[in-house]
Amino acid sequence: MFKKTDELEFELKNADSIHNFISDNEGEFDDKNFYKLMNTLITESGKGKPQIAAASHISEPYMYNLVNGQKRPTRDTVVKLSFGLNLSLETCERLLKLAGYGGFYVRHKRDTILKFALEDGCSLVEADELLVKYGFSIMSE
């Protein structure tokens, strides 16, 4: 879906002009805000909002408020939505940044567990099981 940031960095470093780089990568920039990107990802998933809300363990009304820009998600809500949409780690971290949060920090055990779970394609329930195994509370409360 999106190019990796390292790939974009490499292309920029080797670009013959900024114009060509921008033209070739128009869809790669974070010109979107969280809400626009979330709606794009929902559409691309082919899933309905109720299905995504259920998989993310959030209420449907809250889901609708989030995607309509009426509520700002918490960091955990962004992560839960990422599990509910089966997003890659990179896309989850992009959403976190657009929502105003930092990405995962490997020196924080909880972040490491969530990062591993996203990279491994776990569901939210499976991620919760890993969190409990290492003494953390579950996300799907």
**Amino acid identity, position 119:** E
**34-87 residue pLDDT tens:** 888 999 999 999 999 999 999 999 999 999 999 888 999 999 999 999 999 999
Residue 30 reports pLDDT greater than 90: no
Identify the residue with better confidence: 29 or 97. 97
Instruction: Give the C-alpha separation, 31 to 99, whole Å.
Output: 13
Model pLDDT, residue 3: 83
Instruction: Give the C-alpha separation, 96 to 105, whole Å.
Output: 12
Which residues belong to CATH 1.10.260.40 in the chain? 32-133
- Give the architecture-level CATH label for domain 32-133: Orthogonal Bundle (1.10)
Task: Report the predicted TM-score, pTM, of the whole model to 2 decimal places.
Answer: 0.79
Contact 138, 132 (CB under 8 A): yes
Give the mean pLDDT of the chain: 92
Contact 67, 41 (CB under 8 A): no
